[in-house]
Amino acid sequence: MLRFLTAGESHGPCLMAIVEGMPAGLPLTEEDINADLRRRQVGYGRSERMRIERDRADILGGIAEGRTIGAPIALRIENVGRSSPVGGRMTVPRPGHADLAGAVKYGLDDLRLVAERASARETAARVAVGAIAKRLLAEFGIAVGSYVVEIGGVVAEIPELPWARLWELAEASDVRCPDPEAAEAMRRRIDQARAAGDSVGGVFVVAATGVPVGLGSHVHWDRRLDGRLTQAVMSIPAVKGVEIGPAFENARRTGTEVHDEFFPDGKGGVMRRTNRAGGIEGGISNGQPIVVRAAMKPIPTTITPLRSVDLATGEPATTRYQRSDVCAVPAAAVVAEAMVAWVLADALLEKLGGDSIEEIKARWNELLDWPGTSS
C-alpha cells in the first residue's frame, strides 16, 4: 500500500524523498515533519555537523491547502553542512563501514562514492517520511515513541510508568534516557570515549500504543508484522540486533514463564496481564503495545586510527578521521521511531484499505469491535 524512496548524498546539495500511497485528506504541514527532524539532530555525543545543520523539509508536491491529495508526496531537505569532506579520492577503507564491500560490489575505485550514500545522513529523509506515517497513525489514536536503555555499557533502570510518561522523560534528556542517574553516567561514558578518540554504541526501545488486533498476517513469511518491523529497524546504519519484546530474556526462560496468559475482560472478550510477546503473536498484532528493542554498534569512524590497507598501493595503512559522532544512539532511536511508524502505517492501510481518510475511518470502528482487543 505504501512505499518510499530516498535519494541524495551526505555532502550533496540535498536529500530527497518520494512517498507514494498516502491516502487523501490527511492534514499535513511542514512543521509536522520538521519537529521530528529537530529531534533527530539533538543528543549528547553528536558531531559538530549537528550544530551546523538546521534540517527542515520542503514539501514540493502531493499537498494542497494543508492536506494530502492522494498523489505522491515529494520532500526536499537541504544539506546546509555540505562542505566538502576532508581530502580528495579515498582509497583506505574504514573497518565497520560499507567502504570496502560497496566499492567491490559497484566496481568503484573511490571509496568516498560509497561513503557518501552509505552515510547515516540519509536517515534524515527517513525521519521526514516517518513523520508523515506518524501523522496518519495519529488519526487513529496510534502513537510511537522511544527511549534509550543503554550506552557504552551503562544500563538504565527503567521505571514502571505509562509509555507516554516514559517518552516524556526521554524527550527531556539529551541521551533520551528516562532514568536520570543512568543518563548522567551515560554522559560521562560518552565523555570518556571522546577523550580517548573512540566511540560507543548502545540499546534503545521503540514502542507503539493504540495498535489494534490484526495488523500483519501468519499466512506468508513476508507479511508477518514482526519480520517487517525487524527488517525496517535493522536497516538503520549501525543497528546490528533487533528483538520484539524481551526476546533474548525469554529465550532463557521456560514456556510457562514466558507466554502471556488470557483472562476474561468482563466484556465478552479476553485480556492479558503481561506483554512478554511484545504486542505480536504469530506475526499479527494482538492489541497490546508493540515493543521493539535494538542494539546499535559503536560508530565505526573514530579519531583513533584503525588498521587498514590502502587499496591504491596494497600497503598497510591507517584510517583517516572524518567528522563523526562519538555516540548516535539517541538519534538512532528517533530514526527507529520513523521506521516503526512507517511499517505500522503500511500494515494499517493494508488491513483497512481506502483512498481517503474518510473512507478508512469508516472501516476503523468495525476493526475495533472485535472482542479480543483488550490488553
Question: Within the chain, how many helices (H) and strands (E) appear?
Answer: 12, 18
Give the separation between CA 80 and CA 14, rounded to whole angstroms.
Answer: 8
Burial class (CB in 10 A: 0-12, 13-18, 19+), 168: middle
Which tens digits make up the pLDDT trace of 125-180?
999 999 999 999 999 999 999 999 999 999 999 999 999 999 999 999 999 999 99
> What pLDDT is attached to residue 375?
45
> What pLDDT is attached to residue 48?
64
Q: How confident is the model at residue 49 (pLDDT cuts 50, 70, 90)?
A: low
Alpha helices in the chain (DSSP H): 30-41, 49-52, 99-106, 112-118, 123-138, 163-171, 180-195, 225-234, 247-251, 255-258, 329-352, 357-368
CA distances from 6 to 80, 154, 244, 276, 318 (A): 18, 34, 27, 35, 32
Report which residue type is found at 131.
Answer: A
- pLDDT above 70 (res 358): yes
> What pLDDT is attached to residue 25?
98
- State pTM to two decimals: 0.95
The domain containing residue 337 runs over which residues? 3-373
Would you say 57 and 75 are in contact if contact means Cβ atoms under 8 Å apart? yes
Q: 358: domain CATH number? A: 3.60.150.10
Q: What is the DSSP letter of 370?
A: S
Per DSSP, the three-state class of 280 is: strand
Q: How confident is the model at residue 367 (pLDDT cuts 50, 70, 90)?
A: confident
- pLDDT above 80 (res 340): yes
CA distances from 327 to 37, 181, 202, 302, 330 (A): 18, 18, 9, 11, 8
What's the domain count of the chain?
1
DSSP β-bridge partners for residue 239: 296
Give the separation between CA 320 and CA 325, rounded to whole angstroms.
Answer: 15
pLDDT-above-90 percentage for the chain: 87
> What pLDDT is attached to residue 86?
53
Burial class (CB in 10 A: 0-12, 13-18, 19+), 248: exposed
Q: How confident is the model at residue 240 (pLDDT cuts 50, 70, 90)?
A: very high
> What pLDDT is attached to residue 292?
98
Give the separation between CA 362 and CA 360, rounded to whole angstroms.
Answer: 5
Sheet holding 290-296, edge to edge: 154-155, 143-151, 202-209, 290-296, 239-244
Read off the C-alpha cell for 290: 508493540
pLDDT average, residue stretch 228-242: 98
DSSP-derived secondary structure for 317-346 = EE----S--S--HHHHHHHHHHHHHHHHHH
Report which residue type is found at 209.
Answer: T
- pLDDT above 50 (res 201): yes
Give the separation between CA 205 and CA 336, rounded to whole angstroms.
Answer: 9
Report which residue type is found at 165.
Answer: R
Q: How confident is the model at residue 370 (pLDDT cuts 50, 70, 90)?
A: low
Which tens digits make up the pLDDT trace of 94-125?
999 999 999 999 999 999 999 999 999 999 99
pLDDT average, residue stretch 184-188: 98
pLDDT average, residue stretch 32-61: 86
Mean pLDDT of the chain: 94
> What pLDDT is attached to residue 374?
43
> What pLDDT is attached to residue 45?
84
- pLDDT above 70 (res 53): no
> What pLDDT is attached to residue 301?
87
pLDDT-above-70 percentage for the chain: 94
Range of weakest confidence among 127-136, 304-313, 365-374: 365-374
